[in-house]
A and B are shown apart, each in its own frame.
Chain A
Amino acid sequence: MRRRLLKAVALPGYQVPYASRELPIARGWGTGGLQVTLSLVGPCDCIKVIDQGADDSVNAANLRRFIARMTGVETTTDALQATLIQSRHRIPEERLREGQILVLQVPSPEPLLPVQPDLAKAREMHADADYALMWLSLYEQLVQYGTFTTGAEYPVLVHGRYLMSPSPIPRWDTPMLHQAAHVTLLAAGREKRLYAVPPYTDVYPLEFEDVHFRVESQQGRVCYQTGARHKLMNELPQPDGQVRYQLSDSGYATKLWQHQQGDTVTIGATYYDDAGNFYHRGYLKPDTDPA
């Protein structure tokens, strides 16, 4: 695993095969991420585990307890304190810094699978950097629906070479991988593939010159607990048919709430500011009307 991780970092976005080992957890429940975390973690680490942004979901709590029990490592819910963050489907709202490692659990590592179900042929397409079918698929989405319909797992081009599935993170999180200060390691235990995005690496979503990649709009959504805006929200349907919104990143929400109660907490700079602007100016291009 350690050897393969080094290869993955040396080849940004390339899927490195590895011998996914048996674990006391079923495949599909984060075994890829867990193997990466266990191969990395050291006595000085502090670990955070999240599932869909939440530290307290069953999957996250069990993985965190397992890792702590196996290694004796400290745990936290604060993204700033953690040296190692294992996550399913989210990147924390606070900007990660140099030296931090984000491990993403990946159910389906092959971005070409929707257009090329034969994995041997998909590998050849990666070798040739032949991504025409994926471009065609996006074009068909535009023709048929007038917009990109790919939600989470939006395909990105890493270091100008390899097409990569950024795991099923929402489109909101995809830009966070671009020129990030931290290293991101992605592992699929069932598919036995791992890949990486080193720090300060170009990660661009596929988009056309006149039709741009867009993140999920959070316009008008206010967290009912913290009053936060322009962060990714969970939608909570109410019995009366109304909808309430809650910050998806529970660790960040807890800190905001503690801050409002007068507690001393350090809240880091976020990828999106309170007006919804992404911190790499110009990365998210303004909407254009395809018509």
Chain B
Amino acid sequence: MQSVPIDARERRFQAVFSAMLAAFSYPGRLQAPWPAATPCIDACTAIADVLIDLETSFYTPDAELHQRLIRTGARVKPPEQADYQFYPLLSEANLPALQAAPVGSYLYPDHAATLVIGCLFAAGLTLRLQGPGIQSTIEQPIDQLPAAFWTLRTQVIQYPRGWDVFLLDGSRLLGLPRTTHAEIL
């Protein structure tokens, strides 16, 4: 039977999307959709290729990433309106932007923002994660994120409202949907 050929680009998108779906389905488990030691900005671009296009909007404070994402045709919007927000390096200065990010409404909780944030999955704070997709609990060390981020996340999420987060480092991806409860140990 002859099948329609799938090109390398679509295969790459499919692999990244599969990892993203697995990351949200099994929060706290690290997925590896990229070769090891991929620069964080390239990993963000790979995710953006799957998530954003003409129908969506984005925000990133990173100038280089901004130039890359603008080529997708997605609209540039301020953090309080953007559907997808990319922070290759999250600092304390970015937290007001996160606080303003859309969290959806009770009628349309799916109108909340999705955040893609760079970090390191080693040392740093250890989080205990609980919720759908996790059989009991998972403990995961995460570094290079301001401690205030976790406080802000707890304040912002009032289920079903709240944003969903993809954390990534050079080679791995971790999903934190709004249903995941994160406790700092």
Q: Could you list which residues of chain A lie within 8 angstroms of chain B, going by C-beta atoms?
A: 2-7, 9-12, 14, 16-17, 39-43, 65, 68-72, 98-99, 123-124, 127-128, 159, 161-162, 183, 198-202
Contacts and interface: CB of A to CB of B under 8 A. Distances in A.
Contacts of A162: 160
A200 B17 CA distance: 21
Contacts of B2: 69
A43 B159 CA distance: 36
Interface string B13-36: 011011011101110000000000
B103 to A, nearest CB: 12
Interface stretch (B3-11, B63-71, B85-93): B3-11
Contact of B107 (A42, A127, A183, A198): A127
A202 B132 CA distance: 8
Interface centre among B2, B6, B178 (most CB of A within 10 A): B6
13 contacts: A2-B50, A6-B24, A7-B164, A9-B25, A42-B11, A68-B1, A69-B3, A127-B107, A159-B132, A159-B179, A162-B160, A200-B133, A200-B135
Nearest to B27: A198
Nearest to B56: A3
Given A2-B50, A42-B11, A69-B1, A123 B24 contact: no
Given A69-B2, A199-B26, A10 B18 contact: no
B156 interface: no
Given A9-B177, A14-B110, A183 B51 contact: no
Contacts of A68: 1, 3
Interface centre among B107, B110, B114, B159 (most CB of A within 10 A): B110
B106 to A, nearest CB: 4
Given A10-B164, A40-B18, A70 B132 contact: no
Interface centre among B25, B51, B135 (most CB of A within 10 A): B25
**Nearest 3 A/B pairs, CB to CB:** A72-B3, A10-B177, A127-B106
A70 B17 CA distance: 19
B3 A10 contact: no
Given A6-B114, A183-B25, A43 B6 contact: yes
Nearest to B176: A10
Contacts of B56: 3
Contacts of A12: 132, 179
Contact of A198 (B6, B25, B159): B25
B61 interface: no
Nearest to A71: B3
Contacts of A41: 14
Contact of A200 (B3, B6, B132): B132
Contact of B15 (A42, A65, A98, A127): A42
Chain B interface: which size bin? Answer: 35 or more
A177 to B, nearest CB: 12
B54 to A, nearest CB: 13
Contacts of B1: 65, 68-69
Interface string B55-85: 0100000000000000000000000000000
B17 A10 contact: no
B178 to A, nearest CB: 6
Contacts of A40: 17-18, 21
Contact of B110 (A11, A43, A70): A11
A161 B20 CA distance: 24
Nearest to B24: A9
A198 B133 contact: yes
A69 B51 CA distance: 26
A161 B162 CA distance: 15
A267 to B, nearest CB: 24
Contacts of A3: 51, 56
Contacts of A128: 106
A2 B133 CA distance: 19
Contact of B132 (A4, A7, A198): A198
B134 A200 contact: yes
